[in-house]
Amino acid sequence: MNDLTRKQSLHADVVIVGGAAIGSAAAYFLSAEVAFGGSIIVVEQDLSYAKCATTLSAASIRQQFSTPENIRISQFGVEFIRDLSQCLSVDGYVPDIGFRERGYLFLATDQGKGQLELNHRLQRTNGANVELLSTDDLNRLFPWLNTSDLSAGSLGLSGEGWFDASSLLQSLKRKAIANGVDYRQAAAIDIERAGRRVRNLLLSDGTTLTFGVLINAAGTGARALAQLAGIALPVESRKRCVFYFHSPVSIADSPLVIDPSGAYFRPEGNGYISGVAPPADSDPECYDFAVQHELFDDVLWPILAARVRGFESIRLMRSWAGHYDMNVFDHNVILGAHPEIDNLLFANGFSGHGVQQAPAIGRALAELVTFNRFRTLDLSSLGWQRLFSKQALLETTVV
């Protein structure tokens, strides 16, 4: 380990690196698990969360995925959000994250209709409340849409919408602290590994943490943390920009709309937020927060103007940039222990789905620590084995 002067040495049964939505969900569920009863320390390098993916996200949840695992994860998440006031109340404070259950609307051209229908059948088989729409249906339900190039749509009738991600994070953290979890502001800078175990974590403030189990919930910092333990994690930081605009045209009860191009928009306050992924050849790994204004001017605005009557006159009000922890292998989370290390658990590579998946993944991590297996949802297919066997669990609905 590094030769920094160590201020103190502390021990916890579980240390979680990363205190945003995933880390705080794990801390909450673990601290609420009667069968656990151990000590927990969460290490977070910035407790203001000003630059974390959770607080900079579009903060939404959906069941319209192309893999059963992601559908079930979101179903658990919706149940948790609906019961939030009961499970996360602290000393009379009842959290409200402002869940707006207005659904997702996926749109498809002739080229994408087959995949949309395939996804729809899978979603219905797994209990998602979604409806497949014809162009006539789209025109009737959403008269503000330009459907001239569309062939179908898929609408979430319940269990989909958006919320205040910062409120969810703070509610999870507040409850975890009330349950005895210790949060420390520092960065993890070194790990000592001995054979099949990691045992000491050195922090930037000079503290050394010893532990029984270490959880990597470090978001875009997850790969660097894994490298400290000698593990190659295929996760990269990819910038995503969010644009907030006003429109002279008001759309009543709009869902979150996913254009065939991958661009999205949804209502937010008196306006709308929107975004689109950069072209693949213009999407390198990066960590800066500079907004890509040309992405709005050259790509997003033309798409919005062509799709919604009146959006050609929108006025951009503000914008910001955040980051996805992108799993470049198959765009799905890597969950659980690496075969070479027994006491290091991973929850990384959410590829933009971390906030909505936090409740289910937090519960899953708590189960792995306490029972050494999944009990609520079987998420074993999201483990490391698929990487070694090179059998990608591809998610086709990455937004």
- pLDDT reported for residue 341: 97
Q: Are residues 320 and 357 located together in one domain of the fold?
A: no
Q: Domain holding 176: CATH number? A: 3.50.50.60
288 contacts: CB under 8 Å, gap ≥ 6: 239, 321
- Left, alpha or beta for 389 (phi > 0: left; psi -120 to 50: alpha)? alpha
Task: Please tell me whether residues 274 and 378 are part of one structural domain.
Answer: no
Alpha-carbon distance of 102 to 253, in angstroms, equals: 7
- Residue 376: strand pairing partners: none
State residue 236's pLDDT score: 97
The answer to the question of residue 399 being in a domain is no
Q: Are residues 73 and 170 in the same domain?
A: yes
Domain boundary among 324, 348, 379: 324
Same domain, 262 and 172: no
Tokens of 6: 């160590």
Tokens found for residue 30? 């673990």
pLDDT tens track, the chain, 399 positions: 444 445 789 999 999 999 999 999 999 999 999 999 999 999 999 999 999 999 999 999 999 999 999 999 999 999 999 999 999 999 999 999 999 999 999 999 999 999 999 999 999 999 999 999 999 999 999 999 999 999 999 999 999 999 999 999 999 999 999 999 999 999 999 999 999 999 999 999 999 999 999 999 999 999 999 999 999 999 999 999 999 999 998 888 899 999 999 999 999 999 999 999 999 888 999 999 999 999 999 999 999 999 999 999 999 999 999 999 999 999 999 999 999 999 999 999 999 999 999 999 999 999 999 999 999 999 999 999 999 999 999 888 877
Question: H/E/C letters for each residue in 184-195?
Answer: EECCEEEEEEEC
Q: Are residue 120 and residue 258 in the same domain, yes or no?
A: no
- In the prediction, which pLDDT does 280 show? 86
Same domain, 220 and 361: yes
The CA distance from 106 to 256, in Å, is 8
Q: Which domain holds residue 273?
A: 238-324
Place of tokens 């027994």: 342
Q: Are 376 and 364 in contact (CB under 8 A)?
A: yes
Q: Which long-range contacts (CB under 8 A, 24 or more apart) does 315-320 make?
A: 315/245, 315/246, 315/247, 316/243, 316/244, 316/245, 317/244, 317/245, 317/246, 317/271, 318/243, 318/244, 319/241, 319/242, 319/243, 319/244, 319/291, 319/293, 320/56, 320/241, 320/242, 320/289, 320/291
Q: What is the dihedral of CA 242, 243, 246, 250, to 10 degrees?
A: -50
Could you give the 3-state DSSP secondary structure of residue 123?
helix
pLDDT of residue 2: 46
Please give the Cα distance from 32 to 134 (Å, whole number).
46
- Co-location of 76 and 117 in the same domain: no
Residues 73 and 377: beta-carbon distance below 8 Å: yes
On whether both 219 and 309 belong to a single domain, the answer is no
The residue from 115, 132, 157 where one domain ends is: 157
* CA dist list (Å): 314 to 95, 195, 245, 289: 34, 59, 6, 24
The last residue of a domain, from among 120, 138, 157: 157
Q: Whose structure tokens read 């059998």?
A: 391
Indicate if 70 and 207 belong to the same structural domain.
yes
The answer to whether residues 251 and 312 belong to one domain is yes
Residue 93: DSSP 8-state: B
Question: Is 99 inside any structural domain?
Answer: no
How far is 395 from 350, CA to CA, in rounded Å?
11
Enumerate residues 6+ apart whose C-beta is below 8 A from 166: 49, 54, 55
CA distances from 135 to 36, 63, 132, 157, 252 (A): 52, 22, 10, 17, 19
